[in-house]
Amino acid sequence: MTTTFPATFPQGFLWGGAIAANQIEGAFDKDGKGLSIQDVMPDGLQTSPTESPTEDNLKQVGIDFYHRYAEDIALFAEMGFKVFRFSIAWSRIFPQGDEEIPNEDGLAFYDRVLDELERHGIEPLVTISHYETPLHLARAYNGWTSRKLIGYYERYCRTLFERYGARVRYWLTFNEINSVLHFPFMSGGIPTPKDELSQQDLYQAIHHELVASARATRLAHEVMPHAQVGCMIIAMPVYPLTPDPSDVVAAMHSAHASYAFGDIHCRGKYPGYLLRHFRENGITLDITAQDREDLENTVDFVSFSYYMSTCETADPSKKLKGKGNLLGGVPNPTLEASEWGWQIDPQGLRVVLNDYWERWQKPLFIVENGIGAMDRLVEANGTKTVLDDYRIDYINDHLVQAREAVADGVNVLGYTTWGCIDLVSASTAQMSKRYGFIYVDRNDDGTGTLERYPKKSFDWYRTVIATNGAMLQ
């Protein structure tokens, strides 16, 4: 018997876009919202956190989605979005993070967002924690290094599931959970500077997050039997820099660092290579019998961001050459990079999709992909727009590779581009690193009208969705 795979995207494929609360909402202290770690990160990852919030932090206003969500969702609907990925700001719901009673005004805001999505028939995809841990949990508990955060996170999840459970099917527990290895403050709310944070404390924090994720998955299934819960990881294939077997082994070790998060989420236990890492580095984690049982609550699907691949080598003299990618590694001499130095590798997406599918046999969801670029607003046919052919090319080339993966037999649920509307960058806190199909008139110095202007890619993406990807070439 021969099996044929579809040469196009499956019916019901979830096309859409993604954003995070702290990068678009603004209203950072409105209606009872508490501070989050983002309020002391005016420069993203470029400088150390500040003591208190500062007015030069573009995230205080974001793109004012808090007040303009209806207008923005209408634009997403015009593109034909089937799904919209957004995060809930934890500190809007629990301003400090450790209260017993949630903030009703915060909950009501997301009711309004969900109303609007429903009006347009757009499926919500909710990230529960996206780089916006309440600042109080970071400062008072040293973030996820404390076991107490498991309980606070669980209370937050229960509040969301009970409130929105009837309206939200797809949930993601932690954005890019593996990034805590690289950005302990932004990802894990851990104020201890990275170079002073011991491996012991870092992996204990990771363990707490993994247990919290698994407990949230169990709770979601109890409260909302129809719910689908996914983990979310940064996918970055690691290629050996040369065919030297030592480089292949170096690439394998580097890949393990991220695989571990998917392995635990999908298999419910720690993989051997990570236990070896613990043994050889004197790391002894506090793992209770209850933790082990909790971890067995595995996810329903795996979601990931994909921006780039990287190379690895065993030769230390080659390590520091050139500008590395987001998570370090060695630049690939065969690839071009974006204006921010992120190397562009559409085929890497096909590699990741095949690799994850073979490894975990769980449906996959591409929940971030896109290119940050300097856009120029121009006048065309009497309206202002951006002629962003580079963005169209980037997304087209990645989607062609996703389509190849579907033809390879990979189960892909959907695709949401990162920053479907311009927003404040996570790593650099700039407005000028733009990802959207919709230009937002706001500049790095905070000036601008906040007006929205569809870019050339807006119409293009509408056609991609309308043809279910058949027009991609």
Residues engaged in binding ligand BGP (CB under 6 A): 20, 131, 175-176, 305, 368, 372, 418, 425-428, 433
**Active-site entry in 25, 116, 123, 176:** 176
Nearer to ligand BGP (CB atom), residue 142 or residue 369: 369
Instruction: For residues 51 and 101, give the distance between their C-alpha atoms in angstroms, rounded to a whole number.
Output: 27
Instruction: For residues 186 and 358, give the distance between their C-alpha atoms in angstroms, rounded to a whole number.
Output: 31
Nearer to ligand BGP (CB atom), residue 92 or residue 403: 92
Instruction: For residues 347 and 309, give the distance between their C-alpha atoms in angstroms, rounded to a whole number.
Output: 9
CB of 18 to ligand BGP, least distance (A): 8
71 belongs to the catalytic site: no
Nearer to ligand BGP (CB atom), residue 131 or residue 394: 131
Instruction: For residues 129 and 112, give the distance between their C-alpha atoms in angstroms, rounded to a whole number.
Output: 19
Nearer to ligand BGP (CB atom), residue 228 or residue 338: 338
CB of 433 to ligand BGP, least distance (A): 5
Nearer to ligand BGP (CB atom), residue 265 or residue 433: 433
- Map the chain to HEC letters: CCCCCCCCCCCCCEEEEECCHHHHCCCCCCCCCCCEHHHHCCCCCCCCCCCCCCCCCHHHCCCCHHHHHHHHHHHHHHCCCCEEEEECCHHHHCCCCCCCCCCHHHHHHHHHHHHHHHHCCCEEEEEEECCCCEHHHHHHHCHHHCCHHHHHHHHHHHHHHHHHCCCCCEEEEECCHHHHHCCHHHHHCCCCCHHHCCHHHHHHHHHHHHHHHHHHHHHHHHHCCCCEEEEEEEECCEEECCCCHHHHHHHHHHHHHHHHHHHHHHHCCCCHHHHHHHHHCCCCCCCCHHHHHHHCCCCCEEEEEECCCEEECCCHHHHCCCCCECCECECCCCCCECCCCCECCHHHHHHHHHHHHHHHCCCEEEEECCCCECCCEEEECCEEEECCHHHHHHHHHHHHHHHHHHHCCCCEEEEEEECCECCCCCCCCCCCCECCCEEECCCCCCCCCCCEEECHHHHHHHHHHHCCCCCCC
Nearer to ligand BGP (CB atom), residue 411 or residue 428: 428
Nearer to ligand BGP (CB atom), residue 242 or residue 432: 432
CB of 418 to ligand BGP, least distance (A): 5
Nearer to ligand BGP (CB atom), residue 50 or residue 427: 427
CB of 236 to ligand BGP, least distance (A): 10
Instruction: For residues 459 and 184, give the distance between their C-alpha atoms in angstroms, rounded to a whole number.
Output: 39
Nearer to ligand BGP (CB atom), residue 217 or residue 430: 430
368 belongs to the catalytic site: yes
Instruction: For residues 131 and 469, give the distance between their C-alpha atoms in angstroms, rounded to a whole number.
Output: 31
CB of 427 to ligand BGP, least distance (A): 3
CB of 397 to ligand BGP, least distance (A): 18
Question: Among 350, 376, 420, 332, which Cα is nearest to 76's?
Answer: 420
Instruction: For residues 395 and 405, give the distance between their C-alpha atoms in angstroms, rounded to a whole number.
Output: 15
**Active-site entry in 116, 123, 132, 368:** 368
**What torsion do the CA atoms of 356, 358, 359, 360 make, to the nearest 10 degrees?**
80
Q: List the catalytic residues.
A: 176, 368
